[in-house]
Amino acid sequence: MAQVQEPEGRFKISAADRRVIEEFRKNPVGHHSPQLQQVLNRFRGAGMADKYCLVTLKPHKKWQLAQTTGERGKPLKLLDQTFDSLEEAEWHVFKLRWKLHTGETLK
């Protein structure tokens, strides 16, 4: 998995942003601090190729990890991992995106 190359002038995630990790882990869905929202906006604003996302299999009950192709009209690449909790699923995607943007693996 290659690390994301940050374009010039764009917000870059730094070691100081580690303070938002625990905030997200405790509350992955809902209102976030401005600092956490800035990190999430950077994750969500990355290019569309191979971006991790979630697919709802059963509304409010089951989700599947997927990746975008980056090509309009092409279906998502469904991955093998499923989740029975939205919070667990969102935390997993956060950790994958954190690794992509920082190179650091979160436990």
Distance between CA atoms of residues 6 and 24, nearest Å = 22
pLDDT tens for 24-60 read 999 999 999 999 999 999 999 888 999 999 999 999 9
Q: Has residue 21 been placed in a domain?
A: yes
Rounded to two decimals, what is the model's pTM?
A: 0.87
Residue 34 lies in a domain: yes
Q: What is the pLDDT of residue 12?
A: 83
Say if residue 8's pLDDT is above 90.
no
For residues 65 and 67, what is the distance between their CA atoms, to the nearest angstrom? 7
Condensed to tens digits (0 to 9), the pLDDT of residues 90-99 reads: 999 999 999 9
- 5, part of any domain: no
Residue 62, domain member (yes or no): yes
Q: Which residue stretches of the chain are H helix? A: 21-26, 34-44, 86-102
- Asked, for residue 3, whether it belongs to a domain, the answer is no
Q: How many domains does the chain have?
A: 1
